[in-house]
Amino acid sequence: MKPKLLMWTAIALMLCTGILHLIAVPDEYSESPYMGWLFIVNFLGTLVAAWGLLRSRIIWGWGLGTIIVAGSIIGYLLSRTVGLPGTGVEEWADLQGIWGLVSGKAIDQSFKDVCSAIAQESFGSNSFGLIGLLAILVETAFLGTLVLAKPWADPVMKTDLLAFNASAKQMRQSRFFLPAMMLATILIGFFSYQIGVQSVKAHDSEHPLPETIISAQTLEEEYGIQMYLVAVTAAGGMVDVRYRIIDPDKAAKLVDPEDGGIMPMVYVQNGDIMLMPDMHMRKQQLIADRMYFTLIPNTRNVVHRGTIVTVSFGNVALEPMIAK
């Protein structure tokens, strides 16, 4: 492919990456403000990278662009596997739901095309993970364009790269470089921790500890659920909550109408800290005599073996028990 075509392709892909992140800002900000600001920074970074690509700058163009898309891809994968600070593990893109959305089977017929479906997410509508999926595809395409363009082999860009390396080497030799990097690392870690703490507190206030406290026997007799186990697992990173459905009809009284399933929550320190399951752990069919388990992220590792916890199902909570 011609270098000019590859350059304009890379610019278009970079701008698409920024626009997709900008569209998702309202939804991300509502869930966790710092994520909204990160998406804004991502958008601004793509504008700088697009300018760098237009000016044939290997550092501000291809270099910054690669950092942006690689960071976005890593962030997407982390958000769908272990979760990001202050947020739960998000669901992967629902391909079947996306197809219904695009074809007009899942929404009103006036929103059949992809562009309208994308626009709807900026107003909080469910797009089944379409924005994230499109962003991943665009970012992967940018990396493919990078490999085809081989900017490091261009004589002009190679000179730019050598000049940057010389400047970086001079900076590393400065006596202030190491202390500055250590200070930056400490500050980033501190603010990341504070963001996580504030986000957890926000989630806690949305789901206060239920006032109705019942025994395990009452849970079984009135709600058809037999509490089995609360334990720490996955090297302390998860809390395993297990229970058996004795009577599905009685248990249905505790089904969360929004999530379509029973959502046990774990409270620590008299309800000051709340742990809740990720989205994909909340939906299930209630079948008699079946054992269910819910893995809940152990935020800040507040639950250890021997910790006294309170487990709630809907608007009722069990008497405090000891985690194993």
Which top CATH class is 212-322?
mainly beta
207 vs 196, residue with greater confidence: 207
pLDDT at residue 316 above 50? yes
pLDDT at residue 153 above 70? yes
**Mean predicted confidence (pLDDT) in 30-44:** 83
CA distance 100 to 166: 54
Binning pLDDT at 50, 70 and 90, where does residue 109 land? very low
Confirm if 131 and 167 have CB atoms less than 8 A apart.
Answer: no
Binning pLDDT at 50, 70 and 90, where does residue 77 land? confident
CA distance 31 to 88: 10
Question: For the ranges 185-194, 206-215, 233-242, 247-256, which has the lowest average pLDDT?
Answer: 185-194
pLDDT at residue 192 above 80? no
Averaged pLDDT of the chain: 75
Structural domain boundaries in the chain: 3-202, 212-322
Residue 243: predicted pLDDT: 86
Range with top average pLDDT, 40-44, 171-175, 182-186: 40-44
Which candidate, 159, 106, 93, 103, places its Cα nearest to that of 132? 93
Binning pLDDT at 50, 70 and 90, where does residue 222 land? confident
Binning pLDDT at 50, 70 and 90, where does residue 304 land? confident
Question: For the ranges 1-10, 153-162, 274-283, which has the lowest average pLDDT?
Answer: 274-283
**Mean predicted confidence (pLDDT) in 12-31:** 86
pLDDT at residue 215 above 90? no
**Mean predicted confidence (pLDDT) in 222-235:** 83
What is the reported pTM? 0.53
Residue 202: predicted pLDDT: 47
Half-sphere exposure of 242 (CA within 13 A, CB side): 12
pLDDT at residue 274 above 50? yes
Tokens 């000049």 belong to which residue? 163
